[in-house]
Structure 1
């Protein structure tokens, strides 16, 4: 039986048929059971199935984008839970991009950062201050709030400001590594949060603990963007750009330098890799992705305050990277998706179900063991199980395969060319 299954699975035509059948069945399930979280998650699971199929890489990209951008929103739009589903999708896109940014710092460069949420906060406040009346309280010129059309500019402004803060963090910690680096970055994250919470005097820049409300929603060709289904496409678009940039960086000269620094700083420096520039580039580029998504988060929530950027959030992003597989781009994406879906959908639904059981059947639940309070405990237990049985992450990092024979031929051809050029120069 297993041999027959393997034979079917290895045939590309059979894979296409089975995958289409799976997408059709799960899509039909979501259409017939529009408010079923399980049906929604099964349809999203098709992206993971697609990753493991023996398809052409371009075909995988096109199919995956079609499922996420067309199929899922189209089928989910028939449900009363449509905006809830799109809210989950938006959060997954935001945190996936953030996790990919942290993966550059932790997974590629090996620099443990426990204050990464600070860059998210910087991006969020950058847009919130100028897209509300807050800027008029300390800016002597200009008219505020800025119109919603400027949101698209502030995506890049948030990235630049966050990158600047990443460099400011990187400069004093260049000589620190390991546990000391973790402590310094943790302190940096807390300093940023406390500053944002107290910068309401002598100049009222962030409005202190009251936060910034009434943030202008984005506009796209005059159309106001305000609901989750619209922000879903913004988050998806930025997320796809981040994936493309990260994959290009991973196999670039800079990406190889990051991995060399991660494996052995002394050996990397001996090979001529500039440690200062390499580490600062990791902090700056990773922070820029977080700053971009911070601007999206502020526009979506239309309100920001310092309580959204606590140490727990930094830890959660780090958990996404470790759970998915440090250094693995698809692994980090899967880790972020799993964590967000567990927190926002699965555990919430379990809590609601237990509460209904208690109400309907009169089962007393002590206040200390209420489902709402036990969510983090259940979440932690699930992470422990994942860590025990998937020590390298859900999708471990795989080094790029190199054709040794091809490299030898290219090296021999290059040596032959050098000999010809040398002999030619000598003859002349």
Structure 2
């Protein structure tokens, strides 16, 4: 059921232009709600976990979101749902969220409305009431956005074009939680922002999120690579958001000129590898606020979360089912220092999905890019492919042991090996 879109009997989207996202781990609830909305001509996508939901929200924008408040069996506090709601509202304060709760959870539902939800539905629901509440939430959201659009002083995160997702930073690691909060707080301001970090770590995405949360979100930002002289004439004409890429590559004279060229009416955002080469005047103009994109190897399990998102996204774009990752692939994803950071991981996953003919993605499917990268820097006298495969196996075993806190039984199960087979490999590699 996950990711299903309701269609009419001809296979086309039903007559309504509205599409709903349901976040609920109960497949029976998902089936019942999808049937209800199908009868009324709505499109409906379903996510069984918050992780899957944020992946889908990154791919398209939904007219309304139906959110269950508990995703773990036995949990009734609503804590999981509140955390998901907070993240949804932080990413898009105008989101139309309707929460789903049991009859005994009215107090929790009211608290959810205080946290940003527009309404709530009590289980068991009547279909007519469910649809009416969602329709009313959509209408209220559209009125709010229309009113905000006439008041330029109020920042509205209008995001990208209809039908596509808002720019979102995916990841649950502590550095990403802190970074998302800083972006949310910085976006509505007029102050310059300096974004540093390795190429491929999401610096351009951070700049796009700052723009979509700013008062200038309804206009297109001006993006200039300052290493290209042909782009400089656009800097002095810029209004709204002005994104300047690679000012740290300029010499001191060019940096002085750049600092003088940034118009007062523009909100500058600089993207750099390193802040240190910037002269003091330019750094002050660009970097009232400084944000750092953390490298992927400092983000823990985010690499696996991102890999799953890329697999879903690529499969959806090519009309395929997203293949799952084997335990060996997951271990490789978590233990590899990916060339070109998140962008490199995305390229490896895209290649694996497009070339998949087995229904799963294993470590070997992700390895070709890594083998090429090793070959590019290895002297001709180095040992060929066999050594790389051994190294990969060792890395995967080390990652599995570390992930399972050196519980050999659990690590062996994750790798698809018997305990004896894992012990033999551990002895071979001196682990």
TM over 0.5: no
* Between structures 1 and 2, the one with greater helix share: 1
* Between structures 1 and 2, the one with greater strand share: 2
TM-score when scaled to structure 1?
0.26
Structure with more relative contact order (C-alpha pairs < 8 Å, separation 6 or more): 1
TM-score when scaled to structure 2?
0.26
